[in-house]
Structure 1
Amino acid sequence: MKAKHQRLTLVVVAVVALIGAALLAMLGLRDQAAYFYQPAALVKADVPPGQAIRLGGLVMPGSVKHGPDGVTTAFTVSDGEATVPVTYRGIVPDLFTEGSGVVATGRMDAGGTFVADNLLAKHDENYVPRELGNIDKAAVISESQTLVR
């Protein structure tokens, strides 16, 4: 076999292998394509109790209730169309507040409550730590630009 034919065979085999790997990856990830369910989609979806899923939305203002044990937190997640009650046992993240975004990993129970194993609090691009909340951002930016010059 000539060198030209060997290179062509090698290229064809490599392309077939890449296409096969891409198809296997898509097949394996087809059920996990959505990062999380929003409450309206979760209400419509046929998710069996006990199946591990992610739920994302906004924590409804006035819905956060702390249990007497100090580690259980109950709240409601909404997307503007539907709401889902959530319970979480553990220490909540520092950024977890009413009206903020949250992504919870867990499962639905038979009663329609989402039992979270893990909470991720989300923030917008204008995040400022609570400790620095009273500092004028514009003044800090202009001062840092002055120091760079």
Structure 2
Amino acid sequence: MSRTLSRAQSRKKRRLYIIGLGMLALAASTALVLNAFEDNIVFFFSPSDLQAKPVEEGRTFRLGGLVEEGSVQRMDGLTISFRVTDMANVIPVTYTGVVPDLFREGQGVVAQGQLKSGVFVAREVLAKHDETYMPPEVAEALKRAEHWREDTAKSVAQ
């Protein structure tokens, strides 16, 4: 009987050991996957989000909002500067490249780049693609900042 008992305890210990190793392997693989994705994950922020919780310089993220009226300035060559607003806060942006055809003041925009000395330096600028569309992230940021109006999307389209 003691032999049967020791075999049962031995099998139980082996099972626990295998389960423990499996959980350890799962945790290690999850950590590796998350670490690999960390460089590819691009976060979205509105100007109000950046005022509330600044992002460290050099970190790539997306900035979304509306192109502030009267803020677009064409610089030399392909460089353009403008301000992105969520109707509560404003972030200055510079971009070198060809802006989308639908890019203009008062329109929804999402720019991807980095913050440098208080200016968002965009590598990519995306504009809305039809008269009723506003990027979901921009609409959500406007709602969070309590500046969303049902006519916002319509007025942005004009």
Normalising by structure 1, we get a TM-score of 0.61
Q: Provide the C-alpha distance between the structure 2 equivalents of 1:115 and 1:22, rounded to a whole number of angstroms.
A: 33
Poorly superposed stretches of 4+, deviation over 4 Å: 20-35
Gaps of 5+ in 1: 1-19, 128-149
Q: Which residue in the other structure is 1:59 paired with?
A: 67
Q: 1:97 aligns with which of 79, 100, 104?
A: 104
- The alpha-carbon deviation at position 28 of structure 1 amounts to 7.0
Report SS of the residue matched to 1:62: coil
Structure 1 contact 100–123 (Cα < 8 Å) conserved: no
8 Å contact from structure 1 (residues 101, 123) kept in 2: no
Counterpart in the other structure of 2:127: 121
1:126, 1:96 → 2: CA distance? 14
DSSP-derived class of the 1:42 partner: helix
Aligned residue-pair number: 125
- Alignment root-mean-square deviation, CA: 3.9
Displacement of 1:113 after TM fit?
Answer: 0.4
After superposition, give the CA deviation of every residue in 1:73-126 in whole Å (9 maximum; x if it has no partner).
00000001100000001111101010001100000002x000000000114554
1:74 to 75, 81, 92: 81
CA distance in 2, matches of 1:33, 1:119: 18
2-side partners of 1:36 and 1:102: how far apart?
12
Q: Give me the whole-angstrom Cα distance separating, in 2, the residues matched to 1:49 and 1:73.
A: 21
Query: Residues of 2 paired with 1:87 and 1:41: CA distance?
Result: 19
Report sequence identity in percent.
45
The alpha-carbon distance between structure 1 residues 95 and 125, as it changes in their structure 2 partners (threshold 3 A), is: closer
Return the match for 1:38 from 46, 53, 58: 46
Looking at CA atoms only, which structure, 1 or 2, has the larger radius of gyration?
A: 2
| Structure 2, unaligned runs of 5 or more | 1-27, 134-158
